[in-house]
């Protein structure tokens, strides 16, 4: 099921022509499908119905408040990594009691903000952080629910930059030392030990590494119980991959079924998932226009109006995302092998390389799978205003973030007197 489809050679997002959106809002722009966000969220939520569980959407994937609101209405919880992300969740109508706070460097201010809002849990990534949370909680006369994010030293078999569960990665606490850290946590004032957490990486295309991590977590939970520390939840993190090209990641229902099966004897443990990409990636496209066609000897470039500042993934991870025309040509324009490059002054500024397309100046293109880690990783590099975001909902479309203005680029800056 795909909500981005061709009708009479024109790309549609649900029931709206993408060309019409580009005409109305200009390019580049991100276009999202509400129905896709909902379908992906429900795939997780429904798959885990036989086990007490909570889906905490990872806000970093796509943090527009319209997206968060759509998910909050379906009962989603949220995985956040900053005060800013938590503020977005609250602004969007999310429930703080369903928020888990991840990240390696929570400040005292961020901890206090989250504590006062009554979040579900802090996923703690170091002993120093544990002590900081204890101090802040005591100062506020509050109790902080915590879980330790353990690093299980599992190879997630993904790109090294998005692998997080190996001992050489900065994330989590070495699982070998976890028991003593839990004992330390139990002795500190202001803390309530509630769970265990891990997140081994992103864009995983197999269930096996998740299950390996889960087995290590279960062994830890058993050991803690023997030592008198009983946990009430297990957070397996996010990381389920999506098909960008020919990858065949397991469907959320298959993944969730295998995870819950392993937890058959642990029905009392609430299971938390933190999916980001699996919910958002294929719910969005980046729409861009060909500014120029350029030929250097036998190399063809389509220079488009979206750059690495709008979509960083290809430059940062050599990520491959499909690029398709918004209107399929049926004239005699030759198909050529193009590098699709942006306007930014960097050699690494490309959306895709070696793409066989029939293109002319002025054509519109869509980069697919752009709903996750697209807009949220965008910047103003080269003083380029960040682009508009549009949410399609059936036959309706809504501007959910306006294009930044030139003036906004230097807002807050000052010239010396
Ligand atoms: C702690 C944590 N949870 C959840 C996620 C979401 O990951 P994904 O988008 O791969 O599901 C991330 C990002 O990788 C993360 O760091
Ligand atoms: N931003 C990355 C994933 C990292 C997720 C954050 N832990 C991507 O686009 O693939």
The answer, yes or no, to whether any atom of ligand 2 lies below 6 A from the CB of 313, is yes
- Residue 201 CA, closest ligand 2 atom number: 7
238, 279, 313: residue to mutate for ligand 1 pocket, most atoms within 8 A of CB: 238
Residue 16 reports pLDDT greater than 70: yes
Atom of ligand 2 nearest to the CA of 203: 10
Q: Which residues pair with 288 in a beta bridge?
A: 365
What average pLDDT does this structure show over 140-160? 89
Between residues 47 and 138, the one the model is more confident about: 138
Asked whether the predicted pLDDT for residue 163 surpasses 70, the reply is no
- Mean pLDDT calculated for residue range 101-108: 96
Is there an atom of ligand 1 within 6 Å of 249 CB? Answer: no
Q: Any idea how long the chain is?
A: 417
* pLDDT over 90 at 214, yes or no: yes
47 lines ligand 2 (CB under 6 A): no
Angstrom distance (rounded) from CA 86 to CA 72: 13
- Mean pLDDT for 46-67 is 95
Q: Are 59 and 80 in contact (CB under 8 A)?
A: yes
Q: How confident is the model at residue 123 (pLDDT cuts 50, 70, 90)?
A: very high
For the question of an ipTM over 0.90, the answer is: yes
* Probe residue for ligand 2, chosen from 63, 149, 162, 314 as the CB with the greatest number of ligand atoms within 8 Å: 162
Check residue 165 and give its pLDDT.
64
**Ligand 2 centroid – CA 23 distance (Å):** 31
Please identify, by atom number, the ligand 2 atom nearest to the C-alpha of residue 162: 4
The answer to whether residues 321 and 352 touch, using CB atoms and an 8 Å cutoff, is yes
Give the per-residue pLDDT at 162. 67
Report the candidate in 268, 271, 199, 270 with the shortest Cα–Cα distance to residue 240.
199
Please give the distance of CA 397 from its chain centroid, rounded to a whole number: 23
Q: Which of 29, 121, 198, 345 is catalytic?
A: 345
**Cα(200) to centroid(ligand 1), Å:** 9
DSSP-based three-state secondary structure for 149: strand
What contacts 201, CB < 8 A, 6 or more positions away?
156, 158, 162, 163, 164, 165, 209, 239
56 included as an active-site residue: no
pLDDT of residue 1: 82
pLDDT at 167 exceeding the cut of 80:
no
Closest-lying ligand 1 atom to the alpha carbon of residue 241? 10
Angle, CA of 392, 396 and 400, to the nearest 5°: 50
Contact at 8 Å (CB) between 127 and 100?
Answer: no
- In angstroms, what is the span from residue 152 Cα to ligand 2's centroid? 19
Residue 231: its pLDDT value, please? 98
Nearest ligand, CA of residue 374? 2
- Tens digit of pLDDT for each residue in 390-412? 999 999 999 999 999 999 999 99
What is the distance in A from the centroid of ligand 2 to the CA of 162?
A: 6
CB distance 197 to ligand 1 below 6 Å: no
Q: Is it the case that residue 20 has pLDDT exceeding 90? A: yes
- Do the beta carbons of residue 374 and residue 387 sit within 8 Å? no
Q: Which ligand is nearest to the CA of 58?
A: 1
Q: pLDDT tier at 245 (50, 70, 90 boundaries)?
A: very high
User: Mean pLDDT across the stretch 324-336?
Assistant: 96
Domains identified in the chain and CATH numbers? 4-32+281-409 (2.40.37.10), 103-273 (3.20.20.10)
Q: Which of 229, 227, 228, 234 is nearest to 265 (CA)?
A: 234
Mean pLDDT of the chain: 96
What whole-number distance in Å separates Cα of residue 162 and Cα of residue 176? 23
Q: Could you give the percent of the chain with pLDDT greater than 90?
A: 93
pLDDT at 97 exceeding the cut of 70: yes
Q: State the distance from the centre of ligand 2 to the C-alpha of 251, rounded, in angstroms.
A: 19
Please state the rounded mean pLDDT for residues 106-128: 97
Q: Tens digit of pLDDT for each residue in 260-319?
A: 999 999 999 999 999 999 999 999 999 999 999 999 999 999 999 999 999 999 999 999
- Average pLDDT estimate for 220-229: 97
Please tell me whether the peptide bond between 28 and the residue prior to it is cis, using omega within 30 degrees of 0.
yes
Is the full-model pTM beyond 0.90? Answer: yes
pLDDT digits (tens, 9 = 90+) for 338-391: 999 999 999 999 999 999 999 999 999 999 999 999 999 999 999 999 999 999
As a whole number, mean pLDDT of residues 142-163 equals 85
Ligand 1 and 238: CB distance under 6 A: yes
The mean per-residue pLDDT over the stretch 141-150 comes to: 97
Beta 335-341 vs 4-7: how paired, if at all? Answer: unpaired
Tell me, in angstroms, the distance from the centre of ligand 2 to residue 71's CA.
20
Tokens of 398: 């809504």
Closest CA to 63 of 42, 78, 85, 41: 85
Question: Which atom of ligand 2 is found nearest the CA of 164?
Answer: 7
Q: Identify which of 106, 161, 237, 247 to mutate to test ligand 1's pocket (most ligand atoms within 8 A of the CB).
A: 237
- Does residue 57 line the site of ligand 2, with CB under 6 A? no
Nearest-atom number in ligand 2 for the CA of 319 is 10
Distance 240 CA to ligand 1 centre (A): 9
């Amino acid at each position: 099921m795909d909500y981005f489809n061709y009708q009479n050679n024109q790309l549609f997002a649900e029931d709206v022509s993408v060309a019409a959106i580009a005409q109305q809002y200009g390019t580049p722009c991100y276009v999202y499908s509400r129905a896709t966000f909902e379908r992906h969220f429900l795939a997780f939520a429904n798959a885990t119905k036989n086990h007490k569980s909570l889906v905490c959407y990872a806000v970093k994937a796509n943090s527009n408040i319209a997206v968060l609101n759509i998910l909050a209405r379906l009962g989603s919880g949220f995985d956040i990594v900053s005060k800013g992300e938590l503020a977005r969740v609250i602004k969007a109508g999310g429930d703080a009691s369903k928020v888990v706070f991840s990240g390696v460097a929570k400040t005292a201010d961020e901890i206090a903000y989250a504590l006062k809002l009554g979040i579900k849990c802090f996923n703690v990534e170091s002993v120093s952080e544990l002590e900081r949370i204890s101090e802040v909680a005591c100062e506020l006369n509050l109790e902080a629910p915590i879980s330790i994010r353990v690093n299980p030293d599992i190879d997630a078999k993904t790109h090294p930059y998005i692998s997080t569960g190996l001992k050489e990665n900065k994330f989590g606490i070495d699982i070998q030392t976890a028991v003593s850290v839990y004992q330390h946590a139990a002795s500190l004032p202001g803390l309530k030990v509630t769970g265990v957490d891990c997140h081994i990486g992103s864009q995983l295309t197999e269930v096996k590494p998740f299950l390996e991590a889960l087995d290590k977590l279960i062994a830890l939970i058993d050991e803690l119980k023997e030592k008198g520390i009983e946990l009430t939840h297990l957070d397996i993190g996010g990381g389920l991959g999506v098909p960008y090209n020919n990858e065949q990641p397991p469907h959320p229902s298959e993944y969730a079924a295998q995870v819950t099966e392993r937890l058959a004897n642990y029905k009392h443990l609430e299971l938390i998932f933190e999916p980001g990409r699996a919910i958002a990636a294929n719910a969005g496209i980046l729409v861009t226009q060909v500014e120029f066609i350029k030929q250097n000897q036998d190399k063809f470039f389509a220079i488009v109006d979206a750059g690495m500042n709008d979509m960083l993934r290809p430059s940062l991870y050599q990520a491959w995302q499909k690029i398709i025309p918004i209107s399929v040509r049926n004239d005699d324009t030759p198909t050529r092998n193009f590098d699709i490059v942006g306007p930014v002054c960097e050699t690494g500024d490309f959306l895709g390389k070696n793409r066989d397309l029939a293109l002319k100046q002025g054509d519109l293109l869509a980069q697919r799978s752009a709903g996750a880690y697209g807009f949220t990783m965008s910047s103003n590099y080269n003083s380029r205003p960040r682009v508009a975001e549009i949410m399609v909902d059936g036959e309706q479309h809504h501007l959910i973030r306006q294009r930044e203005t030139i003036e906004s680029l230097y807002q807050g800056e000052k010239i010396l007197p």
